[in-house]
Chains A and B, each alone.
Chain A
């Protein structure tokens, strides 16, 4: 069976040893840094650092390849859309306009626009591996606990973690249903015309949604019958106390965020301008 998407991958690494809450806090700090800055030097640094962290985590590229490709395609679409809707954004930001290729007026390709979009792409590339890492290195039982620990209500935390946990189940159901429908002649492979494939796919979605609703009813009854939601708070069987390495990691990431902000804003602009 293909590797389940977005499910916990059990390896032994320093990243795995951190508690879920630590990883969540670090992830939030990291994304804040990456989101606020447009300083290309910092983004490059963060990007390389994220590759290093990724390497340290012992998660291999092929473990997450499918999701990664999916996101990269989105990133590409996003880039095209930016170009379509505001092709002169870079010129506006950096104040100069080095035209590279001439298209019709507004759509002239400028070095500034390319540089601007490179920055955006870098941002994504910095955050994506971190997000994926958080999901695949946090044991699902710790997931809810860590969200709860940073102040998210445990009900919401549980909802999120259950949703994540059902991803493999839903994938399995999907495969079974899809194949059973194919066995009725509803072809979803490339042999069929695109429109018909879409139509046939709906024959998979309807039963998939219904059976998922069935599952939800069972699990919510089961949870209620065991007292879920009785009190404002709850304790966690699997909670792990913070260790030295957790504090170290958090302090490190806080410093990183502060450094990023200082470097980014010291000259009054979020953008690093190589053109001036």
Chain B
């Protein structure tokens, strides 16, 4: 007999700041020892469900509750956030933001300190938990010097130290590179098996979570539960497509080829999935897809020539990097956290000056030009739109750069309006920015750069923290700008983005360029994948499994077909 640990019954919730309820009639029971994945697009209410479980609702975020939520058999509204925190441990999305202690040991101990645990006991408990997540050797290390994966281990240890019954992960993969994400999922699985805790994961990177077994997937959309099923069952329906959640690519490929996925083929677990059933169908589809290969015109717009740079004289962040970007290209710069991706973009924009080497733009040496001079040619969009927005109104924000340059008012109006139209923001031109969603804000920041008419634009993680629908929106928008002649450089650790949207990618590792090739080829080179903390795409494995002799060609065709489909869909 399984014991329920989380029980929502006819549960409704409305934030005080909002008119419409965010959660509508939620009925959901999660049992002891289960591993459950909650998926849904942004704004679907999936994070709100998480807040209800960990007690942030109603204790930090106020609102109206109807119905009942029981945690470990007790009505949540009768408890306080502290007693809930003893039962539910939450690992938040951004490990940097949630560190309270400065050293690993101190951060893990935080919950114990609040509980007035005597020091000797605390030290012992911290040691034990740290060993469980393989961080025993790092107790004195500063949390800010850890890698992304280690940071997550520490966050996890920090909640496990309380012996919680339920572990809640709020988008654990959002800030991790593909390989680290894979390890994180493995670690969660291992911890769950060892301790028999209940695990709830909120995440939209479905394929990555399914790297390890999940008991149930709950699909949330528009505040309601659309599906609550075993993954194999879920994949035999079309619910995911409807709510715009990215399905695993290997399943998408089979659907493109006209294959019907049924639950007894075990589609959720790629290692057990009986892909060979579709061998003939895939082959046929492969023959039918045509690749239109147009030779790219090669007129260089940006050249980096043996550029080196270090923030401190002792330690170089970028070593001897050279590459060329041609006019009209869209190129990804990829690599693990700390590989030097962002530093390269700063060097290109003139935020930092290289110690050695040259940067050439349209044949002109710009190595010694100031930021303002370069800004006439190169635009930079930061990852967090809130780091760029300083005006209340959309129109003013987009006009800001032009006003600063002393452009006449009539021209400003004309250029801003035109840009807003291109960006699909024209209807909102007189709106306050605070009323916009994250994705729309991102668009505003892109618009505020585009209006300056640069020839090259660099975007740092353009799709970070966005669900598949917003991701597709933004990327399609960038593709369109690219087709109209804008050269685009993307800094990312999102493999899908690199594979689907940019033909070419430059891979950095520890400040060095280790590859500069077609994205498809990079993602099929095991050695590169390992060095750069990337992950092999499941398409490639699918092709190998079903006997294609040249899997790269298969992946290429998939991308071409997928792009075509998206274009027709528009």
Contacts and interface: CB of A to CB of B under 8 A. Distances in A.
The answer to whether A and B assemble together is yes
Interface of A: 1, 139-141, 165, 173, 176-177, 179-187, 189, 191, 200, 202-207, 210-211, 214-215, 218-231, 233-239
Contact of A225 (B81, B126, B371, B378): B81
A180 B90 CA distance: 34
B122 A227 contact: no
Contacts of B312: 1
Contact of B54 (A189, A211, A225): A225
B379 A183 contact: yes
Given A226-B111, A235-B117, A236-B119, A184 B400 contact: yes
Contacts of A218: 92, 94, 97-98
Contact of A185 (B103, B118, B372): B372
A180 B380 contact: yes
B389 A231 contact: no
A203 B400 contact: yes
Given A224-B81, A225-B85, 6 more contacts: A185-B372, A207-B387, A218-B98, A219-B100, A227-B82, A228-B100
Interface in B433-471: 448-449, 452
Interface residues of B, number: 68
Contacts of B158: 226
A221 B92 contact: yes
B56 A235 contact: no
Contacts of A204: 390
Interface in B85-115: 85-86, 90, 92, 94, 97-103, 105-106, 109-115
A46 B163 CA distance: 53
A165 B110 CA distance: 16
Interface in B347-395: 349-351, 370-372, 374-375, 378-380, 382, 384, 386-391
Nearest to A186: B404
A237 B108 CA distance: 10
A141 B102 contact: yes
A140 B98 CA distance: 16
A180 B372 contact: no
A226 B452 contact: no
Contacts of B217: none
Contacts of A165: 102
A215 B99 CA distance: 11
Contacts of A173: 387
A115 to B, nearest CB: 46
Q: Which of A173, A183, A203 counts the most chain B CB atoms within 10 A?
A: A183
Nearest to B351: A179
Contacts of A140: 102
Contacts of B94: 218
A231 B115 contact: yes
Contacts of A226: 85, 100, 110-111, 114, 158-159, 162
Contacts of B391: 206
A273 B450 CA distance: 70
B174 interface: no
Interface string B392-418: 000000001110110000000000000
B461 to A, nearest CB: 13
B113 A233 contact: no
A228 B102 CA distance: 16
B311 interface: yes
A190 to B, nearest CB: 11
Between B113, B384, B448, the greatest number of chain A beta carbons within 10 A of the residue's beta carbon is seen for B113
Given A230-B114, A237-B106, A180 B56 contact: no
Interface in B142-164: 158-159, 162
B375 to A, nearest CB: 4
B97 A233 contact: no
Given A183-B375, A185-B372, A219-B97, A235 B449 contact: no
Nearest to A184: B401
B311 A1 contact: yes
Given A179-B349, A179-B351, A222 B100 contact: yes
B54 A231 contact: no
A184 B391 CA distance: 14
B290 interface: no
B312 to A, nearest CB: 7
B116 interface: yes
28 contacts: A1-B311, A177-B382, A179-B346, A180-B382, A182-B375, A183-B371, A184-B400, A184-B448, A186-B404, A187-B372, A187-B404, A200-B404, A206-B390, A207-B387, A207-B388, A219-B98, A221-B60, A224-B85, A227-B114, A227-B115, A227-B162, A231-B115, A233-B116, A235-B113, A235-B118, A235-B119, A235-B122, A238-B103
